[in-house]
Amino acid sequence: MAKYRKLGKTSDQRKALIRNQVTALLYNGRIITTEARAKEVRKVADGLIAAAVKEKDNFEEVTVKAKVARKDKDGKRVKEVVDGKKVTVYDEVDKTIRKDMPSRLHARREMLKVLYPVKEVPEKGAGRKKNTKNVDLVDKLFTEIASKYVGRNGGYTRIVKIGPRKGDGAMEVVLELV
């Protein structure tokens, strides 16, 4: 007896499907899919959220010196001529960054194994490459989603049946974050 549903797919297709649906669930908060797929996606999503809740505050803040380009009033970099070449002027600034502890770093890398990269395209500039933004889903898991479920022991997702699909009669469900 198998420990998971095969979903009528080969292993690489099944893994890709589950990764895709987990990514969509965490990005959008809810997805509509079949009941069998939802039960498989739920296992993976709950595991990721549990890891995020466990490692939520496992970091230290460190102050580092960073070189930042000086900018003028228009937001353009200030350049100065040195030995006949134009060179950008840099200022040293103290920045506070979060440094993950080893267990949180491990959890982050395990999450990155599962989640696909997500690009956010604003409606205003759709179709233009420079307007797209990469969404850090792992950071969203640690900050937004984990803080929501801090006092909860499991059960981070909910499956609500919405009826049979018109084409093949498969039971469709809404899988959402509680």
Domain spans in the chain, listed from the N-terminal domain onward: 11-56+101-177, 59-100
What ranges make up the beta strands (E) of 30-129?
Answer: 30-34, 59-69, 79-82, 85-88, 90-100, 118-120
Give the pLDDT mean for 138-157.
Answer: 95
pLDDT of 126 reads 65
pLDDT of 129 reads 72
Q: Mind listing the pLDDT tens digit for each residue in 100-133?
A: 999 999 999 999 999 999 998 887 766 677 778 8
pLDDT of 153 reads 93
For 18, the token pair is 């589950």
pLDDT of 14 reads 97
Backbone angles phi, psi at 151, to 5 degrees: -90, 10
Q: Has residue 137 got a pLDDT over 90?
A: yes
Which homologous superfamily does the CATH classification assign to the domain defined by 11-56+101-177? Ribosomal protein L17 (3.90.1030.10)
Amino acid at 176: E
